[in-house]
Structure 1
Amino acid sequence: MRRWLGPLVLGLIVAAAAGYAATLAIPYGLMNIAIDRLGQGGVNQMSHGNLAAPERQPVVRPSPDLAYSSCPYDLSAGPIAIDVAPVAGRYSSLSIFDAATDVIFVRNDVEARGKPYRIIVAREGQAVSAGAEIVRTNHDRGIALIRLLLKDPSEIGALGAARRQSSCTPVTNPK
């Protein structure tokens, strides 16, 4: 019996270490998949997707009454600016996720008082303009996601111009 104790303890230690490593790595892997799926319009650019359908579900468990706009971002070359233009009379929200899938910022149209706003996403130590609303992160990559509630799925086309007022762009010449 004693001969099995050493290998059993070693096996348990290896299993625990592997489980811990997987727990740390899985969020980054999932975010890479999400960035690939949502990055069809390019990195550091907002793309305004069509409604989710059973054959097209770019995000996990998408709501059929929400129009999604997404910006996979990469801060390695500098900060990005996310400009959000809420649509009057409609619920909308901006959520920013980092590479570990952690939500690092959320604002909805009520909190924004229905007015347009700008958020600068930057790594620690990156220069940004004074007075800007800054969201700092410890990761270069992530996703900004805007959700817009539709009253009826058929109105997505009519809201296209309003959705395109929201954008995601690299910040140039921060002061």
Structure 2
Amino acid sequence: MMRRWIFPILAGGLVALSAYQATLLATPYALMYAALQKIGGAGPENRFAFSQMATADNQPIVRPSPDLSYSTCVFDLSKGPVLVDVMPVPGRYWSVSIFDARTDVAAVRSDRDTQGGPARLALMKMGQKAPAGYEPVLLGYDRGLALIRILLANPSEFPVVDAIRRKSTCKQLPTAN
């Protein structure tokens, strides 16, 4: 009698395990797709969108910190490398993080890494070459997100910080014809 149930139980367990694995593999892509759709609406691809300081009514990033200024760039490498130049904000902690389409962090640079200078990153796929003066960041996917965070000690500092951060760029590397 028990033998009759072994195959259905094993088959059910295999289906459940397969569904679990599929969910684990698909979830990061689905989350990043949703984030890129939401954030991408703030501006065109391969260009930074500079948001206002986060409030209860304005949250450009999921669970934002109220003492951080955020800038986002949804990038697309399908037409070639994308150059990210982040201008330093003197006397402040700042960082730029590069996330790929799977939500993996491909690179993080901060004021401590650049020792007061700008961060200059070339987002590219294998086989492409970074221009002189740019640090290559190899990605396995065409799309992703660059996120700049700048710490403010006081909200009144925002206008000064905003003017500096708007000098940061995210742009497609011009192609030679």
User: Do residues 91 (structure 1) and 97 (structure 2) align?
Assistant: no
Q: C-alpha separation between the residues in 1 aligned to 2:170 and 2:19?
A: 38
CA contact (8 A) 2:29 2:103 kept: yes
Q: 1:139 to 1:167 in 2, by over 3 A?
A: same
Structure 1 unaligned regions, length at least 5: none
Give the superposition deviation at 1:8. Answer: 0.9
Q: Secondary structure at the match of 1:111?
A: helix
Match of 1:120 in 2: 122
Give the superposition deviation at 1:153. Answer: 1.9
Match of 1:21 in 2: 22
Give the superposition deviation at 1:129. Answer: 2.7
Q: Which deviations, in whole Å up to 9, do the C-alpha atoms of 1:24-75 show, x marking residues without a partner?
A: 0000011011111211111111011112222332322211100001111110
Structure 2 unaligned regions, length at least 5: none
Larger CA deviation: 46-55 vs 22-31: 46-55
CA contact (8 A) 2:51 2:60 kept: no
Match of 2:73 in 1: 71
Give the superposition deviation at 1:131. Answer: 5.3
Report matched runs for 1:1-175 at 5 Å. 1-39=2-40, 40-130=42-132, 132-173=134-175
Q: Which amino acid letter does the alignment assign opposite residue 24 of structure 1? A: L
Q: C-alpha separation between the residues in 1 aligned to 2:174 and 2:119?
A: 18
Q: Which amino acid letter does the alignment assign opposite residue 60 of structure 1? A: V
CA contact (8 A) 1:34 1:58 kept: no
TM-score (norm 2): 0.92
Q: C-alpha separation between the residues in 2 aligned to 1:106 and 1:46?
A: 17
Q: Which amino acid letter does the alignment assign opposite residue 73 of structure 1? A: F
Q: Which amino acid letter does the alignment assign opposite residue 138 of structure 2? A: R
TM-score (norm 1): 0.93
